[in-house]
A and B are shown apart, each in its own frame.
Chain A
Amino acid sequence: MSENIDKIVSEWAGRIRAAASEGVALRPRGGGSKDFYGRAPTGEVFDTTPCRGIVSYEPSELVVTVRAGTPLAELEAELAARGQMLAFEPPHFGPGATVGGAVAAGLSGPRRLAAGALRDFVLGVKLLDGRGQVLRFGGQVMKNVAGYDVSRLMAGSLGTLGVLLEVSLKVLPRPVEEATLRFQLSEAEAIARLNDWGGQPLPISASAWADGVLTLRLSGAAAAVRSARETLGGEGVGEADAQTFWHAVREQTLPWFGVDVAGGALWRLSLPTSAAPLKLAGEQFIEWGGGQRWLRSGVPAAQIRERVAQLGGHASLFRGGARDGAVFHPLPAPLMTIQRRLKAAFDPSGIFSPGRLHQEF
């Protein structure tokens, strides 16, 4: 197996070097489940799925090292069999989603506010850079401050810095108990309530608000979940329904996300959790205690960005709309300069997914 992998990696390095010298753009791609995300993809597809499999996993170390082309579902099944999970609940958005793709997209699911984001769980990476060199950063231990934290830099880089080969991720035990509660609350009430609760030691592991209903998930020790239920009140949701609901929130398969966005687009607004209601035309779905707000709206991009920036956040055009413009919130010039230099540091010929993250490179 590993000889076979070495052969693949060496072929890939050759392909990268050739592409760099000929100026051919390459697009690292796993299952293609997140092709919709970011600016319109360009370049020859560079299929990362042949390099797959779990390299090492010892539950008592709370770390798994996995090849980037491994299906996310395969990894999650392996972890579940040992009572563990990826606590950041990465969305799959399709059956073929890979671990490398999840890291490159950098997206996290419902548990993000409580457990941390995908980047918080990245401990190490092995990658092929734009020179066709294999580089290893970080490692398999939780605490590691040797050298710059290049591993976390890969989270959300959308395949623009290199081809991920292996990733080491911190994993956590699955909670002993979970419960889901519902409350009838307006947008403003829900935001206020979520932030009040956030300041108390309550085991809230996810929240979702839409159409006047706040759904809350509790996770933790059985006693903690039980006492929080008593404190919070609300209406209980059955276990099976709750599981279906949170899965649908994570995968955006709820009817709310299925409505045709014709003429409009689905925006992802990242805001301080306590930011006031937006007062922008359109429908909203609020997660992460108020920190992630989905907006289905036909309001012009400039107006959305202005409002979100006023509130201290940023807006990404998540699905639909013009994929060849500024999909992500524009950066101030000095930050853009650093980002452009970083890109060149990893990919001097600019061959990896040009334009996927920023129009400029």
Chain B
Amino acid sequence: MLDIQTRQDDEPTAFEQEADFSGIDKVRLIEALARVLPVGALMYDPEDLRPYECDGLAAYRRMPLAVALPYDEAQVVAVLRTCHELGVPVVARGAGTGLSGGALPHECGVLLSLARFNRIVHLDPHSRTAVVQPGVRNLAISEAAAPHGLYYAPDPSSQIACTIGGNVAENAGGVHCLKYGLTVHNLLRVRAVTIEGEIVEIGSHALDAPGYDLLALMTGSEGMLAVVTEVTVRLTPRPRLAQCVLAAFDDVIKAGEAVAEIIAAGIIPAGLEMMDQPATAAVEEFVHAGYPLDAKAILLCESDGTPEEVAEEIGRMCAVLENAGATEVRVSGSEAERMKFWAGRKAAFPAAGRISPDYYCMDGTIPRKRLGEMLEAIQAMEGKYGLRCINVFHAGDGNLHPLILFDAGREGEFERAEHFGAEILELSVALGGTITGEHGVGIEKINQMCSQFATAEIRQFFRVKAAFDPAGLLNPGKAIPTLNRCAEYGRMPVRAGHVPYPDIPRF
């Protein structure tokens, strides 16, 4: 009666085990790509490929067969069609700042860099939208919008370097997403090319689009569904004023409770961050933000809006923080002081790099009320694994970035750090949260996906991928584990990573 065929028989088998691409003929591939790409848009000399062997998760490195650096969308279409015809994997890449190995090349595939798509196509202050190419840097959008009193709200910590295409692929967050949302909340439309070389417009310049919400699926899909060639974002009016409260606590549990009480009081802060004592000590030595060093935890709580609104909200925030047992409450008296409060928080990653040869950054999210439990558990794990961990949290939305400190040069520390991290992620799931809030699964957390999802959901993810990419050629082996991998999980190594761009802020 219904014209849909039962697909049970011809289901993708990709979910059982990873596809084998070892039979790909490199010479034939390069000849085919050379026919569709101009000089300067194709590289296959190992010297030229080296810079692309990893992204922000530098512990994983792989050389692709070739790198394509197309100049325009027609060339992207041609690359994808060629790879589709020859059955070659394609990994798209923006700035390569991702922390989960999402842009790690496939050793039998093409690395497709969108670095040349760096133009702001159109910025319309009246409708508060910007049409940009995927290689435009996140911060460049806000800079272009600034003369109109507008900005692009999501502000991942690497925003001076990361690109909007990568932000779409990861559903990037930042410190302001409790109030202003994630990438998914600030996108209107993407234009993308499927592996079959079809151009699709997903979303629209209106507030919604007909049919299923493919824009939601595309956002955070880690380059597994289609290759984005243009993005339309929403711009937000810049608040007239921002002020920040720094509150100190003599107990981390109390600080966690204060976070819940702020929310319970009906306040949605523009930013709500927490650092534990080891974290404040590490950054204070580095940036001299003036943090109280005797506090077991500090909170940074920001309000933005009109001056009247900020004054009212700051008053309410201070009252809640004092009632919650803060030992000290400081309100930024100037923009310079506000920046100083934030400087410490934003220096947490580099500070970890200063006090330890290596560190491993986690990204779990848990319900806010479980913060205290998580902190106590992490403390116990420090003893168990014999490693230190400093804790910075996007406390407002329960997103944790514990930084596990280790020295890869010392026997066994790397492995202990891996196990420490895996235990934190699994506890995040057990506490009702998730293994990744904003950094993505990539290759880094692919094994922990097996803890978070059951077989039925994992199969369903593969079916969703197949709806866009039936041949399974876009970024294969990332984000969604095969069932065989899950069966083996526990015996497979999870590699941690260093951050290769130490000068980019990370928070």
**A interface residues with partner B (beta carbon < 8 Å):** 23, 25, 58-63, 83-84, 106, 112-113, 116-117, 119-120, 129, 133-137, 139-150, 152-153, 155-157, 161, 172-174, 176, 195-196, 198-203, 220-224, 226-228, 270-274, 288, 291-292, 312-314, 316, 328-332, 334-335, 337-351, 354, 357-358, 360-361
**Residues from chain B with Cβ under 8 Å of A344 in the complex:** 4-5, 7, 467
The residue on A at minimum CB distance from B467 is A341
Contacts of A145 in B (CB 8 A): 170-171, 220, 434, 436-441
Interface membership of B201, Cβ < 8 A:
yes
Judge whether A199 and B216 touch: CB under 8 Å.
no
Q: In the assembly, what is the distance between CA of A18 and CA of B268, in Å? A: 48
Chain B positions 387 through 417: 1 when the CB is less than 8 Å from some CB of chain A, otherwise 0: 0000000100111000000000000000000
Contact partners of A120 in chain B: CB under 8 A: 181, 184-185
Which of B367, B461, B470 has the most chain A CB atoms closer than 10 A to its own CB?
B367
User: Is B260 an interface residue, CB under 8 A from the partner?
Assistant: yes
Within 8 A of A (CB), among B209-238: 209-214, 216-217, 219-221, 225, 237-238
- Of B207, B452, B479, the most chain A CB neighbours within 10 A belong to B207
* Shortest distance from the beta carbon of B432 to any chain A beta carbon, whole Å: 6
Partner of A201, one of B221, B237, B368: B237
Cross-chain contact A143 with B207 (CB below 8 angstroms): no
24 contacts between A and B (CB under 8 A): A58-B367, A136-B457, A139-B432, A139-B433, A142-B397, A144-B436, A146-B436, A146-B441, A146-B452, A147-B480, A153-B213, A153-B217, A201-B240, A221-B308, A223-B312, A227-B306, A270-B204, A270-B209, A291-B206, A314-B204, A329-B210, A339-B211, A350-B2, A357-B211
In the assembled complex, the CB of A306 is this many whole angstroms from the nearest CB of chain B, namely: 15
Contact present for B207 and A312 (CB under 8 Å) = no
User: Given the complex of chains A and B, what is the CA–CA distance between A339 and B214 in angstroms?
Assistant: 8
Q: Which of B181, B182, B309, B311 meets A220, CB within 8 Å?
A: B309
Out of B177, B178, B205, B217, name the residue touching A312 (CB < 8 Å). B205
Nearest-neighbor residue (CB-CB) of B458 within chain A: A147
User: Given that A147-B457, A348-B8, A361-B3 are contacting pairs, would A334 and B194 also be in contact in the complex, using a CB cutoff of 8 Å?
Assistant: yes
| B460 partner, pick from A25, A129, A157, A340, beta carbons under 8 A | A129
**B313 — nearest CB in chain A belongs to which residue?**
A221
Flag if A157 contacts B212 (CB, 8 Å): yes
CA distance A137 to B206 in the complex (A): 27
- Interchain CA distance A172-B264 in the complex, whole Å: 10
A141–B207 CB distance below 8 A: no
Determine the chain A residues whose CB is within 8 A of the CB of B149 once the complex forms: 199-200
**A25 B198 Cβ-Cβ under 8 A:** no
Q: Which of B36-44, B126-134, B345-353, B378-386 contacts A (4 or more CB under 8 A)?
A: B126-134
Question: Does the CB pair B212–A334 fall under 8 Å?
Answer: no
Is B456 an interface residue, CB under 8 A from the partner?
A: yes
Choose among A139, A150, A292, A347 the residue that contacts B207 (Cβ–Cβ < 8 A): A292
- Point out the residues of chain B lying under 8 angstroms from A288, CB to CB: 207
B397's contact among A59, A141, A174, A331, by CB below 8 Å, is which? Answer: A141
Q: A145-B440, A272-B127 are in contact. Are A58 and B369 (CB under 8 A)?
A: yes
Given A198-B128, A271-B206, A274-B127, verify A148-B436 contact (CB < 8 Å). Answer: no
Residue of A nearest to B432 (CB): A140
A176 with B127: in contact, given A137-B457, A313-B206 (CB under 8 Å)? no
Contact B433 A350 (CB under 8 A): no
- Nearest residue in B to A345 (C-beta to C-beta)? B463
A97 to B126, CA, bound (A): 37
Question: Does B290 sit at the interface, judged by CB under 8 A?
Answer: no
B323 sits at the interface (CB 8 A): no
Q: Which 7 A-B pairs have the closest CB atoms?
A: A350-B4, A223-B308, A173-B266, A152-B216, A143-B437, A341-B467, A350-B2
Closest residue on chain B to residue A120 by CB atoms: B185
Docked-complex contact B238 and A201, CB < 8 angstroms = yes
| Contact yes or no, A342 B464, CB < 8 A | yes
CA distance A23 to B6 in the complex (A): 10
B126 touches A199 (CB 8 A): yes
In the assembled complex, the CB of B155 is this many whole angstroms from the nearest CB of chain A, namely 14
**Taking the nearest CB of chain B, how far is it from the CB of A286, in angstroms?**
13
A147 to B467, CA, bound (A): 15
Q: Is the CB of B264 within 8 A of A60?
A: yes
Q: State whether A224 and B441 are in contact (beta carbons under 8 Å apart), knowing that A62-B263, A288-B207 are contacts in the complex.
A: no
| Known A116-B181, A141-B365, A142-B177; contact A221-B312, beta-carbon cutoff 8 A | yes
| Across-interface contacts of A149 in B (CB, < 8 A) | 171, 184, 216-217, 219-220
How many Å lie between the Cα of A202 and that of B237 in the bound state? 9
Contact of A156 among B181, B212, B240, B263 (CB under 8 A): B212
Interface string of B232-261 (1 = CB under 8 A from A): 000001111000000000000000000011
Task: Count A/B pairs, Cβ under 8 Å.
Answer: 294
Q: Which residue of B lies closest to A149 (CB)?
A: B216
CB distance from B169 to the nearest CB of A (A): 10
Please tell me if the beta carbons of A313 and B205 are within 8 angstroms of each other in the complex. Answer: yes
Is B329 an interface residue, CB under 8 A from the partner? no
Q: How near does chain A come to B425, taking the closest CB pair, in angstroms?
A: 10
Asked if residues A335 and B206 are in contact (CB atoms below 8 Å), the reply is no
For A343, the chain B residues whose CB sits under 8 A away are: 4, 212
A312 to B480, CA, bound (A): 35
Q: Report the Cα distance A143→B181, complex, angstroms.
A: 9
- Nearest to A271 among chain B residues (CB) is B206
- Residues in A with CB closer than 8 Å to B260 are 60-61
Q: Which residues of A contact B181 (CB under 8 A)?
A: 116, 120
Q: In the complex, A330 Cα to B211 Cα: how many Å? A: 9
Q: Mark B315-355, 1 if CB is under 8 A from A, else 0.
A: 00000000000000000000000000000000000000000
Contacts A145-B170, A156-B212, A292-B207 known; A334 to B199 CB distance under 8 Å?
Answer: yes
Measured CB to CB, the nearest residue on chain A to B185 is A120
* 8 Å CB contact of A224 from B171, B305, B398, B439: B305
Per-residue CB contact flags for chain B residues 105-127 toward chain A (1 = under 8 Å, else 0) read 00000000000000000001111
For the complex, give the distance between the alpha carbons of A243 and B139 in Å: 41
Check A144–B240 contact: CB distance below 8 A. Answer: no
A119 to B207, CA, bound (A): 12
Is the beta-carbon distance between A226 and B308 smaller than 8 angstroms? yes
Which residues of chain A have C-beta atoms less than 8 A from B202's C-beta? 335
- Interface membership of B200, Cβ < 8 A: yes
Q: Are A142 and B398 in contact (CB under 8 A)?
A: yes
- Asked if A274 contacts B124 (CB within 8 A), the reply is yes
CB-CB under 8 A for A25 and B1, given A144-B434, A270-B208: yes
> Which A residue sits closest to B441, measured CB to CB?
A146
**B461:A148 contact, CB within 8 angstroms:** yes
Min CB distance, A274 to chain B, in Å?
4
Contact indicator B464/A148 (Cβ below 8 Å):
yes
Q: Which residue of A lies closest to B267 (CB)?
A: A173
B126–A201 contact, CB under 8 A?
no
In the complex with contacts A140-B432, A200-B237, A272-B306 CB distance below 8 A: no
When C-beta atoms are compared, the residue in chain B nearest to A174 turns out to be B266
Inter-chain contacts of B437 with A (CB < 8 A): 141, 143-145
B483 CB → nearest A CB, Å: 14
Chain B residues with Cβ under 8 A from A331's Cβ?
210-211
**A274 — which chain B residues lie within 8 A by C-beta?**
124, 126-127
Instruction: Given A149-B220, A201-B305, A348-B8, answer yes or no on A60-B369 (Cβ-Cβ < 8 Å).
Output: yes
